[in-house]
Amino acid sequence: MNIGALWVREWRVLMRNRSAIYNPIAFMFLAVMLFAVGSPVQDNARGEYGAAVLWLIVLLTNMLSLDSLFRRDYDNGVLEQLMTTAPVPLLAVLVRIAMQWLFSGLLMALLAPLLCVLLGLPVRVIGATMLALLLGTPALSLLGAIGASITVGFARGGVLLSLLVLPLFLPVLVFGVSAVNASLGQQSAAPFYWLGFLSMLALSLGPFAATAGLKISLQMQ
Amino acid sequence: MSLTELWHKLGSPRWFYQMSTHWVWGFGIAAIVLLLAGLLWGLLIAPPDYQQGHSVRIMYVHVPAAMVAQSIYIGMGVAGFVLFVWRMKLADVAIAACLPFGMLLTALALFSGSVWGRPTWGTWWEWDGRTVSTLVLLFLYIGIYALREAIPDAQLRARASALVAMVGTINIPVIKYSVEWWHTLHQPASFTLTEKPTMPPEMYLPLLVMVLGVYCFAGYNILSRMRIEILRREQGTRWVRALVTAPTLTGQR
Amino acid sequence: MGAGIGHRTYADGAAMMVFSSMEELLVMGGHGLYVWLAYGATVTVLIGSAITVNNARKRTLAQLRWSLQAGEDSLYERQSSLAETAESPGQHGTRHASSATRRHDEP
């Protein structure tokens, strides 16, 4: 099974199951709308917290899409087959995570201009936001996959997933907000480097941990 | 005894139980002495701070609690690594034993920190680098606890909690650094726990005594729990039966 | 605390006792509530943990003793009932009863 076949397979599965893409994005816009409606009307108040709210919504949306990362294939036995027949299970897991990122993190980065406008962030921030999301969301997908892999066997794994995963998300949140605010206040490239570092760190640890987690979960069936 | 021999012996619950008997007594007595001395020293003898007055005494209980709580988690991470690499069952016993006291100590650190903050900085809670790191530590502990509660199978429970403990341990320095970096951007140079000014010996000596005392107490607590768990797990063996049915009270230690 | 030497300043190295009265010890210059809350919580946690661990140990030992006793009692009952029937050999019965508790010996 080469990488090409894995990609094609993931693509087909995702296309058959498009709600896994739409639901999180719909949630994202709903959350933005709720924030806009619930927050005070003056523009400055909304602007100050804009970056934080943006990243908070990104985090929660990511968690929503994580829950279904492995669950369907776990339930119908495909995951077990994949892990036992694939010559390198790690690769299969990596491809899956990459596909998930393409339709969550990358999608959010592309939608960043829309999000920034809706959240009341100034236009000059859009470039920084896109870059920050691009650099930071891979870490979210990779680290989140660790939590998803361990909790996929639980019927009500949702709360446990957030408990395990949110501490891992915290650094990304911190640097992500700083990165967005960097173009507003202090001009500093440091947060972007940090986001890149976090994603690299997640890339070096995440797939291994997720594969180990899946092996454990599959034995629980 | 060479290191590899020692390592292999550690895999034997019986050997560990017998060896830890002395350590438990040692830690227990050391803990009593050090904690009594440290508490009285910090409460009565140590000087009040120039800026904070007497509330600085809370440092002598808060800082040890926070330090040891973090060390215990890192210990769990190391035990998790040992379990994954060498499949040593005792490592799972260690993780289970560390959990209750670690959580309690983290909660104590948060409580004492909050209580310290009120007279010193005016608020019961302040989001700064240290408080966030400690709060995240509590969530890391709760995560492992919830995970263990959710998995009935013993071996899978062991591997899953080992994995989560390892990932969490790697995360601890990342969180610490990122949150402290975040707060140095926002907080002007006020006295935070992150920058300790050079302490005079009248202050760091009782602190040292308390830190050592809490470490010894943790050692006593964790080893005791490990021994109880070993007895439970090995209850079918001859040595446990002999130990349990020994007639005298001192013979049961 | 007795007759102390009074309040000790930061640079003072000579004084031994910091509090000159019981009053001062309790109030601690207005911070008494906080200091005592923190120290009280700490002492409670430490003593509580020690008690909890000791109780857990006693309980476990008692449980193990009880279950061993139950195992021996059933063994005794089985032996005596087999002796009464006088038809099946006693050896067979004891071997069967003992295998339940002697699962695996230590390494």
The complex's ipTM works out to 0.86
Q: Look at chain A and report how many structural domains it folds into.
A: 1
- Check the CA dihedral B154-B156-B157-B161 and report its sign: positive
- Residue B189 confidence (pLDDT): 41
In order of A129, B73, B155, B241, C106, the CA distances from C103 in angstroms are 63, 35, 19, 12, 10
Picking from A36-40, B144-148, B164-168, B236-240, which range would have the lowest pLDDT averaged per residue?
A36-40
- In order of A221, B11, B89, B250, C51, the CA distances from B243 in angstroms are 38, 20, 21, 11, 22
Q: What secondary structure, in 3-state letters, does chain B show?
A: CCHHHHHHHHCCHHHHHHHHHHHHHHHHHHHHHHHHHHHHHHHHHCCCECCCEHHHHHHHHHHHHHHHHHHHHHHHHHHHHHHHHHCCHHHHHHHHHHHHHHHHHHHHHHHHHHHHHHHHHCCCCCCCHHHHHHHHHHHHHHHHHHHHHHCCCHHHHHHHHHHHHHHHHHHHHHHHHHHHHHHHHHCCCCCCCCCCCCCCHHHHHHHHHHHHHHHHHHHHHHHHHHHHHHHHHCCCCHHHHHHHCCCCCHHHC
Work out the end-to-end distance of chain B between its first and last CA atoms, rounded to an integer number of angstroms: 25
Nearest to A160 among B150, B163, B179 (CB): B150
* Nearest CB to B228 within list C57, C65, C104: C57
Q: Do A and B share at least 3 CB pairs under 8 Å?
A: yes
Question: Is the pLDDT confidence value at C96 over 50?
Answer: no
Closest alpha carbon within chain B to A198: B174
Burial of B225 from C-beta contacts in 10 A (0-12 / 13-18 / 19+): buried
Per-residue confidence band for B163, with pLDDT thresholds at 50, 70 and 90:
very high
Q: Is C89 left (phi over 0), alpha (psi -120 to 50) or beta?
A: beta
Residues 6+ apart with CB under 8 A from B135: B110
DSSP state of C28: G
Return the partners of chain C (3 or more C-beta pairs < 8 Å): B
* Residues C91/C69, Cβ–Cβ less than 8 Å: no
For residue C36, the chain B residue with the least C-alpha distance is B58
Cβ–Cβ under 8 Å, residues B114 and B138:
no
Torsion of CA C66, C68, C69, C74, to 10 degrees: 130
Which chains border A (3 or more CB–CB pairs < 8 Å)?
B
> Above 60 in pLDDT, residue B44?
yes
The answer to whether A163 and B146 have CB atoms below 8 angstroms apart is yes
Instruction: Show the domain range for A72.
Output: 3-218
Report the 10 Å Cβ neighbour count for B9.
13
Q: Count other C-beta atoms under 10 Å from residue A37's C-beta.
A: 7
C52, with CB counted inside 10 A (0-12, 13-18, 19+), is: middle
d(CA B243, CA B249): 11
| Other CB atoms within 10 Å distance of the CB of residue A177 | 21
Instruction: Round to whole Å and give the CA distance between A90 and B213.
Output: 45
State how far the Cα of B17 lies from the Cα of A215, in Å rounded to an integer. Answer: 32
Q: What is the mean pLDDT of chain A?
A: 87
Which residues in B lie closer than 8 A to residue A169 (C-beta atoms)?
none
**Could you tell me which of A201, A167, A144, A61 has the C-alpha nearest to residue B143?**
A167
pLDDT value at position B6?
A: 79
- Element spanning A78, H or E: helix A78-85
CA distance A68 to B244: 50
Question: In the structure, what pLDDT confidence band is assigned to residue C92 with cuts at 50, 70 and 90?
Answer: very low
* Interface with chain A: mutation pick from B167, B171, B179, highest number of A CBs within 10 Å: B167
Residue B228, pLDDT above cutoff 60: yes
pLDDT at B38 over 80: yes
How many whole angstroms from its chain centre is CA B138?
Answer: 12
Whether chain C lies against chain A with 3 or more Cβ pairs closer than 8 A is no
Mean pLDDT of B131-135: 89
Asked if the Cβ–Cβ distance from B156 to A164 is below 8 Å, we say no
Cβ–Cβ under 8 Å, residues B193 and B61: no
Q: Which residues contact A18 (CB under 8 A, 6 or more apart)?
A: none
* Chain B, nearest residue to C19 by Cα: B44
pLDDT in tens, A75-123: 888 888 888 888 888 988 999 999 999 999 999 999 999 998 888 888 8
Is there a contact between A150 and B147 if contact means CB atoms under 8 Å apart?
yes
Q: Which residues pair with B49 in a beta bridge?
A: B53
A115-159 confidence digits (pLDDT tens): 988 888 888 889 899 999 999 999 999 999 999 999 988 877 778
Residue predicted with more confidence, B43 or B29: B29
Residues in chain A closer than 8 A to B160 (CB atoms): 150, 213, 216
Handedness of CA A6, A7, A8, A11 (dihedral sign): positive
In B, minimum Cα distance to A161 occurs at B143
* Cβ contact B217:C46 at 8 Å: yes
Q: Is the dihedral of CA B15, B16, B17, B22 positive or negative?
A: positive
What is the value of pTM for the model shown?
A: 0.84
